[in-house]
Amino acid sequence: MAGILLILASCNSKKQQVVRLYGEAQGSTYSVIYVDNEKRDFQTSIDSLLKVIDKSMSTYDSTSIISAVNNGGDVTLDDHFLKVWTKSVEIFEKSAGVFDVTIAPLVNAWGFGYKQGMERLDSTT
């Protein structure tokens, strides 16, 4: 009986595999760490999803939807943009205006925004 329990226990005690993925998105870097005993690699899926999000809402991409909106361009909003915008308006209203998604002009005035060409401003200049 003890032998059967030992065999069953060893079947369920596969060594857990820690997977670490790294990449770039939104003008920065990301890391994802997860445990997967099947040794699956989700790097391509994660990168694909983040590229879609970047094309929608990255201010680091001059061709993104949010860049077109910020420049007053004629653009069709995608589901990602609309979902974030809707939630932003909801939080703005619930916070009595404390959270303001339209804060970019103030951020730029303080020197944390962008120069022409979407380059990050250096606070020492």
If you ran DSSP here, which 8-state letter would residue 77 be given? -
Supply 104's token pair: 């970019």
pTM here is 0.65
Whole-angstrom distance, CA of residue 50 vs CA of residue 85: 18
Comparing C-alpha atoms, which of 90, 74, 72 is closest to residue 82? 90
- For residue 115, the model assigns a pLDDT of 56
pLDDT digits (tens, 9 = 90+) for 3-32: 444 444 445 556 789 999 999 998 889 999
Other residues' Cβ atoms within 10 Å of the Cβ of residue 66: 20
> What is residue 63's predicted lDDT score, i.e. its pLDDT?
93
Which candidate, 81, 92, 31, places its Cα nearest to that of 54? 81
pLDDT band at 39 (very low <50, low <70, confident <90, very high): confident
Paired tokens of 18: 């820690």
The pair of three-digit structure tokens given for residue 101, joined into one six-digit string: 């998604």
**Count of CB atoms situated within 10 Å of the CB of 42:** 14
Task: Render pLDDT for 92-106 as a digit per residue (tens, 0 to 9).
Answer: 999 998 888 887 667
Whether the per-residue pLDDT at 113 is higher than 80: the answer is no
Residue 48 has pLDDT above 80, yes or no: yes
Q: Per-residue pLDDT averaged across 80-91, rounded?
A: 95
CB-count exposure of residue 65 (10 Å: 0-12, 13-18, 19+) = buried
CA pair distance 3, 88, nearest whole angstrom: 59
**How much of the chain exceeds pLDDT 90, in percent?**
47
